[in-house]
Structure 1
Amino acid sequence: MVPPLALDIDGTLTTPAGAVDPRVFDVLPAWDAPVVFATGKAFPYPVALCHFLGVPEIVVAENGGVVCVDDTVRFAGDRGRAERVIEAFEARGGDTGWGAADLANRWRETELITRTTADERLLREVAAEFEMEVVDTGYAYHVKTPGVEKGDGLELVADELGLSPTQFVAVGDSENDASTFAVAGRSFAVANADAVAREAAAVVLDESYMDGTLAALETLTTLGD
């Protein structure tokens, strides 16, 4: 028996260049337990990944802002307030770093993001004025509603599946994975993880990116045997 998984995407199922590692197509469809993609990405990205992997669409997106399980979608977070943060940020000379199409935010439901080249000090200052928070995932600055976390989404998913969150094994690489690590029964940070994720994880792996995730899954498979 193998445990259900809660997997981050960026930095965890990807190559160092940011592409989805093709090995996910060999490993995850064959995993004999539920697989939850818990990510900071906009909702359509993990849904599409599920689709192309041929696995059930069980998703915690936008850092817990969107949860999808059993064909039901739930939302938490205030996109409107995030929009006001970005508007004020830009009015004070801030630059989100996206082009006119802004494909990074076009499909976001509950939060907005900027590139990590944006003025972090100014962004945090403006966000605080609107009672919003900024989370640095290493890939973007997320302007999000306080108290909305991936870990909350995992608890909701587990309940819908008739499981305990402690039955899940979580793998991630960023500070936004710390809440997932806190509720999962076991947690692994890949070697490229930031300091917050490394501190929160039960195990810090020697391998980075998808190599680290595969090492964690191999450990779980061995224990299952």
Structure 2
Amino acid sequence: MRSSSVGDGALAPLPTLLVQELITEFGLDRLCFHQIMIDTTIVPKDVNKGDGLLALRDWVLGPDTETVAVGDSEPDLQMFRVATRRFAPANIGCAGEARLLGCEISRHSHQRGLLEVARRIVHPDGIRCKSCGEGAISGGPEDLFLELLQAADRTWTENLIRALSYPACFRIFSA
């Protein structure tokens, strides 16, 4: 969990009612907001990820450039509509709609799903290079990488309990 210099140090979205009240009170009817577990994003109503992807592509690379979109929520659907390649981890909440837009959905959820997506992007033919390994994950440095990805998906409490189960964590206190 990342820390912040505001409040108790845990990142969290603003209360929904607070944001709605502020938008109403100040007459900000051209704004909307999106919330996820760690934050609240306030954006213009007429802007979406699809418009942003098209603007970035046309401004930086040109209109015929291949674009790759990776997402896991409903706001990503607009991006999937305009991208030339689309991917999502298995935990996407709107899988049916994403599939209709041509999105490839990973077999795995969360971080492990994003790892699978990254491999598909790098190796669209499905054949991995030597750097990426030859298939199943077993006993090498990649296991540590996967362990870190899994830790990112666990709650802070779960990670603390797991850490306390390692005797090496207590050596710092016995020195």
5 Å matches for 1:32-71?
Answer: none
Whose strand proportion is higher, 1 or 2?
Answer: 1
Contact 2:88-2:106 at 8 Å conserved across structures: yes
Contact 1:134-1:143 at 8 Å conserved across structures: yes
Which residue matches 1:120? 16
- The runs of 4+ residues in structure 1 deviating greater than 6 Å are none
Q: What SS does the aligned partner of 2:46 have?
A: coil
Structure 1 residues not aligned, in runs of 5+: 1-16, 19-96, 104-113
Identity of aligned residues (%): 29
Is 1:164–2:164 an aligned residue pair?
no
Q: Summarize deviations over 1:115-141 as a string: whole Å, max 9, x none.
A: 32x321342243244112111233312
CA distance 1:98–1:126, change in 2 (3 Å): farther
Which residue matches 1:178? 77
Counterpart code for 2:125:
L
Higher relative contact order by CA 8 Å / sep ≥ 6: 1 or 2? 1
Which residue matches 2:86? 187
Q: What SS does the aligned partner of 1:223 have?
A: coil
Is 1:212–2:116 an aligned residue pair?
no
Q: Summarize deviations over 1:173-206 as a string: whole Å, max 9, x none.
A: 233322211211221121233x247633523222
Which residue matches 1:138? 37
Whose helix proportion is higher, 1 or 2?
Answer: 2
Q: How many angstroms apart in 1 are the aligned matches of 2:88 and 2:23?
A: 28
User: Over alpha carbons, which structure has the higher Rg?
Assistant: 2
Structure 2 residues not aligned, in runs of 5+: 128-175
Q: How many angstroms apart in 1 are the aligned matches of 2:72 and 2:41?
A: 15
- Corresponding pairs, count: 117
Give how far 1:216 is off.
Answer: 2.1
Counterpart code for 2:89:
V
Which residue matches 1:223? 125
Q: How many angstroms apart in 2 are the aligned matches of 1:215 and 1:130?
A: 40
Q: How many angstroms apart in 1 are the aligned matches of 2:78 and 2:51?
A: 8
Counterpart code for 2:43:
K
